[in-house]
Structure 1
Amino acid sequence: MSTITQPRRTPAGGSATVNGAKLFNRLCAVCLTLFALIWFVPFAWAIITSLRQDGSITQAPMSPFAGGWSLHAYSFAWHNYPIGYWYLNSLVIAALAVVFTVAFCSMAGFALAFLRFPGRNVVIALVTAGLMLPTEALVLPQFIEYRSLHLLGTYWALVLPSVAAPVSVFIFQAFFKGIPTPLIEAARIDGASWWRVYWTVCMPICRPAVSTVSILTFISSWNAFLWPLLVLNQTKSQTIPVGLSSLVSNTNIQYAEVMASSVLGFLPLIAVFLVFQRRIVQGVATTGIK
């Protein structure tokens, strides 16, 4: 006995939904490609310019293959400018900023997430106000403050302002709020203090938040320009962005050397981002920061 199988009917709106999803995916791919080109073209142009000769750049700036390519600009920049000191200064400052920011902002986020104390809403309002306050507005009062503390020209003048990061506090607070309350209550019932709950229960869980804050703090500290320009006055104590700005002269600009120094300056950031980009995405997705 044979049975007749009738073909399934596709809902009228099903094909339209599928076509709309495909169109949206293609639109997202086109936008992503355009943004990638906007970022990649200046990056590639800087590398090509750093490999050319200054004479060929002046004569034919739009011809990337004119005059040939060489690594002379990189050798000249490394041996004639204190790039090694700039690298070391930026690395030490960024590393210290990461350590202190993670330590203090995680404790602040833990307190705002779990503790109930007088003035808690006021503290949250102040942290929120810190998100809306531009960094440039704090330059003058910070300069007066650190001058009175005799910290100008030291690493601490660059590390301490980055510790008070409202964004990092909110990242930790959002992650701590996602920890199940029964887990915290069980630790408290077992006699654990708040410090032990923070150190042995919460911090091992919030590794994605720690990674996100660490990477964002490292990048922002490495790229800082205005505050290090005002605080650091010696050439060898400068950071990478400040040191690169001193290479540009109003009378004679060595394009190849400047581009080579710039490439050497942003290569560590690209390496850090490529290595830890999954942790950034994981941390942002876990904490719910938009």
Structure 2
Amino acid sequence: MATETLARPATSAATPYAGRRNGRRMTPGRIAVLAVAALLAVLWLVPFAWATVTAFKSETDAAAPKISWIPPSGFTADAFVKVFQDGNIPLWTWNSLYTSAAITVITLAISALVAYALSRIDFRGKNVLMTVIIASIIVPPPVLIIPLFYQMVALHMIDTSWAIILPQVIHPAMVFVLKKFFDQIPRELEEAAVMDGASRMRIFLQVVLPLSRPILAAVAIFVFIGAWNNFLWPFIATNDGSVLTLPVGLQTIKSAYGIQYAQNMASALLAALPLILLFLFFQRQIIKGVATTGLAGT
């Protein structure tokens, strides 16, 4: 009896361990997935590595017809020095930072309120409004450039930061994503808050939004990245050098000094560096937000 009693815990303890070992076993399907992921990683990293190497070359080595990962004259940071000398990088970076942040905050506020109304409030024309929002997702943004430009001219906002911010705060796709997520939140939580005397706005702020942090983080990151990378609209809406964003400002350097391959790659790296840092610091939130977005859309 004693032997049997002592043997049982060992068996029960070994079973989960064996399960974990079986879960880590490399199956053909897992190997195929890892191989595809590695291939995609290489396809992304090789151009990025080439751009980085080119940025640290001299213009002579960068323009040479022979492809080489190690430049004959060695690596140099002259391209970055020229970019900082020829342009106002700190000012352009600040302009991109605060306009992107303002677009993100305003977009979150508008999209969350509209999505919550569509998810929880019944009103006349609700289905029509939802149809219009979904249909507007497929409208190409360049189609709206001319009407938006005339609107900014009429409002006397050209060459101001508001000309960059206001046209970018409406995101139908983000409204749709948030609405689908709010649909998954149990209504019983809101009904309990109503019984406690909470208003609709208080329920939204203190019940719904805290439960929606993953999707709100995902939306904020996607909107910020889109606003930071946007070149066409800030290029059209601004001519004053004091309000240029980083992508537009770097483009003015390129056009003024011709084709400078090393300098072009250095400019591209400078424009991408904040987004790379954003991903490194918030990669958990980005991955969790993407996963949550996918679940909310099912």
Query: Is this a same-fold pair by TM over 0.5?
Result: yes
Q: Report how many residues are paired.
A: 271
1:38 Cα deviation from its structure 2 partner: 1.6
Aligned partners of 1:251 and 1:204: how far apart in 2?
50
Q: 1:72 to 1:184 in 2, by over 3 A?
A: same
Distance in 2, Cα, partners of 1:131 & 1:58: 42
| Matches for 1:1-290 after TM superposition, within 5 Å | 22-65=27-70, 66-249=72-255, 252-287=258-293, 288=295, 289=297
Deviations 1:4-36 (A, max 9, x none): xxxxxxxxxxxxxx9xx8222222222212211
Distance 1:183 1:251 in 2: 61
Letter in 2 for 1:219: I
Q: SS of the residue aligned with 2:93? A: helix
Cα pair 2:152 2:163 within 8 Å, conserved: yes
Following superposition, the deviation at residue 241 of structure 1 comes to: 1.6
Match of residue 6 from structure 1 = none
Gaps of 5+ in 2: 1-22
* Structure 1 portions without partners, runs of 5+: 1-17
Identity of aligned residues (%): 37
Q: Distance in 1 between matches of 2:255 and 2:207?
A: 55
Question: Take 1:99 and 1:274, find their aligned partners in 2: how far apart are those partners?
Answer: 21
Partner Cα separation in structure 1 for residue 126 and residue 196 of structure 2: 26
Task: Note if contact 2:86-2:253 (Cα within 8 Å) is conserved in structure 1.
Answer: no
Cα deviation for residue 219 of structure 1 reads 0.2
Supply the distance in 1 between the matched residues of 2:29 and 2:141 (Cα, whole angstroms): 38
TM-score (norm 1): 0.88
Tell me by how many angstroms 1:61 deviates.
4.6
Provide runs of 4+ in structure 1 moved above 6 Å: none
Offset of residue 118 of structure 1: 1.0
Residue 111 of structure 1 aligns to a residue whose secondary structure is: helix
Alignment CA distance shift 1:94-1:189 (3 Å):
same
TM-score of the aligned structures, taking structure 2 as reference length: 0.86
Q: Give the equivalent residue in structure 2 for 1:9.
A: none
Aligned partner letter, 1:224: N
Alignment RMSD (CA, Å)? 1.9
The CA deviation at 1:138 is 0.9
Alignment CA distance shift 1:251-1:152 (3 Å): closer
Q: What secondary structure does 1:191 align onto? A: coil
User: 1:30 & 1:236 partners in 2: Cα distance?
Assistant: 48
Q: C-alpha displacement at 1:224, in angstroms?
A: 0.4
CA distance in 1, matches of 2:209, 2:277: 26
